[in-house]
Amino acid sequence: MKLQELLKGIKPTSVIGGVDADITGVDIDSRQVKDGHLFVAMKGTQVDGHRFIPKAIEQGASAVLCEDLPEEKAEGVTYIQVPSTEDAVGHVATLFYGDPSKKLKLVGVTGTNGKTTIATLLYNMFRKMGYKCGLLSTVVNYIDGEAIPADHTTPDPIELNMLLGKMVEAGCEYAFMECSSHAIAQKRIGGLKFTGGIFTNLTRDHLDYHKTFENYRNAKKAFFDGLPKSAFAITNADDKNGMIMVQNTKATVKTYSIRQMADFRARIIEMHFAGMYLDIDGHEVGVQFIGKFNVSNLLAVYAAARMLGKDPEEILVILSTLHSVSGRLEPIQSPKGFTAIVDYAHTPDALQNVLAAIHEVLNGKGHVITVCGAGGNRDHGKRPLMAQEAVKQSDKVIITSDNPRFEDPQAIIDDMLAGLNAQQMQKVISIVDRKEAIKTACMMAQKGDVILVAGKGHENYQEIKGVKHHFDDHEVLREIFGINTPSQDAAAGACDK
């Protein structure tokens, strides 16, 4: 594509050199640059990308997009100056990959919790309706059924547009993506044309990056501020920030709620470990999910499908066939009559939520045994707090390993135990080997009890000293229960694994 074409989406303050060159790629990382590429110099959180302009040219860059022009300019290289490369990069990347989001019905999901769940369920639903779809999520990306590993919740603007471009090439009509607060703040989604946006909820998170709650909230809100008039903005009326999110949007606002009047409403009729009966917009429907927060998630999925023009009956029939996203409050029934739940909860807050969701269903009719650990070489402060949360809502807790990385697994467990007093300790045992810990929990559990296996969710490894050893909580549980293998599950169409 001609450089001239790529510059149409931005307003350079100066251009030094010709604009006729054929640009063969766009990079924000000098290490990726090849002959004929455009290198975009970004001022990052760690280093200033402008430092790598000479390196990018050495690797073959024929054009450089930057905020500060270098004093020495290389011959035959075009320099384009803009006030902010962060603002410009999304627009350039989008044009380079053929403006893919314009050719898709793209729906973005933002909020603290529930993004992966909602985006994945929408992807599964629309595929079941017969459409070709794409998904960009924390767990995995999909292009019409083809899985592509994900490193980020929201990829960088180059990879993001490249993936959207591949979706268009593959004939996808819909794409569902998570928009993390980092991605919105860093304008990774700049230049994308959204058909709609969904807000889930907002609790304190990522303050190491955003510094204040207001900045974090404003990052999420910026997504809705940027939606066009033609789009829809679906917001959670039950969250106290729900209406703030959409107060300045041009998009058509729709609300959903499980507690009050709203455009889309749901209530729980009945709840079991196998699922719930819900009333959604006056229709009764059985779903294979548990937990009140999943009612909100399912309602957001329903609302988005309605806003995308789908028939309520068709949506509800498919909703009843969907199952939980891998490692998100995922129940596995034991032949002995107790339930194991695999969940990714790896923070004190998430443990509190997931245990509360379990108690909603259990309703005092069984015991809860929690198996959990904490990651090595990560936030030490959360360890004692996680143990406290586990103990608060469990009858028995088995503290074990969860990716010890380069730390001594027993030392991590000791950090967790340090949060407990003598009385709390009576509920707790520690077993370093995670498989043994899960086995022990299964031996203790009686009919009607629940075992929560927390922390790893979809992960299929145990990371020890830089090596990822295969380990999958689901697999271990199924092995103990002597039930179907994951490959049989995959054959049954579990496209969210």
Ligand X SMILES: Nc1ncnc2c1ncn2[C@@H]1O[C@H](COP(=O)(O)OP(=O)(O)OP(=O)(O)O)[C@@H](O)[C@H]1O
Ligand Y SMILES: N[C@H](CCC[C@H](N)C(=O)O)C(=O)O
Assess contact for 80 and 15: CB atoms under 8 A: yes
Contact partner, 52, from ligand UAG, ligand Y, ligand X, none, Cβ < 5-8 Å per class? ligand UAG
Residue whose token pair is 């640009």: 23
DSSP state of 380: S
CA gap 112, 347 in Å, rounded? 13
Residue 455 sits in the site that holds ligand Y (CB under 6 A): yes
How far apart are CB 151 and ligand UAG at their closest, in Å? 7
- Amino acid, single-letter form, for residue 16: I
Q: Which region, judged by CB under 6 A, interacts with ligand Y, from 151-159, 244-252, 309-317, 454-462?
A: 454-462
Residues 188/92, Cβ–Cβ less than 8 Å? no
User: In terms of CB distance, is 103 or 206 closer to ligand Y?
Assistant: 206
Q: Please spell the DSSP secondary structure of 32-99, one letter per residue.
A: G--TTEEEE--B-SSSBGGGGHHHHHHTT-SEEEESS--SS--TT-EEEE-S-HHHHHHHHHHHHTT-
> In terms of DSSP bridges, do strands 283-287 and 78-81 run parallel, antiparallel, or are they unpaired?
unpaired
Q: Does 346 bind ligand Y (CB under 6 A)?
A: yes
Nearest distance from residue 219's CB to ligand Y, in Å?
Answer: 18
333 is in an annotated binding site: no
φ and ψ of 3, to 5 deg: -55, -40
Encoded tokens for 111: 């909020």
> Has 81 been labeled as part of a binding site?
no
Query: 């988005």: which residue's tokens?
Result: 304
Using DSSP bridges, classify how beta strands 428-430 and 396-399 pair: parallel, antiparallel or unpaired. parallel
Binder among 119, 183, 246, 445 for ligand UAG (CB under 6 A): 183
In the set 30, 101, 153, 241, which binds ligand X (CB under 6 A)? 153
- Is there binding between residue 113 and ligand Y (CB under 6 A)? no
Which of ligand UAG, ligand X, Mg ion, none does residue 154 bind to, with CB < 5 to 8 Å depending on kind?
ligand UAG
Least distance in angstroms from the C-beta of 311 to ligand UAG: 33
What's the token pair of residue 232?
Answer: 């829809």
257 labelled ligand-binding: no
Q: Which is nearer to ligand X, 356 or 432 (CB)?
A: 356
343 versus 407: smaller Cβ distance to ligand X: 343
Residue 182 interacting entry, from ligand X, Mg ion, ligand UAG, none, C-beta within 5 to 8 Å by type: ligand UAG
Binding site residues for meso-2,6-diaminopimelate, as ranges?
378, 402-405, 455, 459
Binding site residues, as ranges?
30, 111-117, 153-154, 180, 186, 188, 378, 402-405, 455, 459
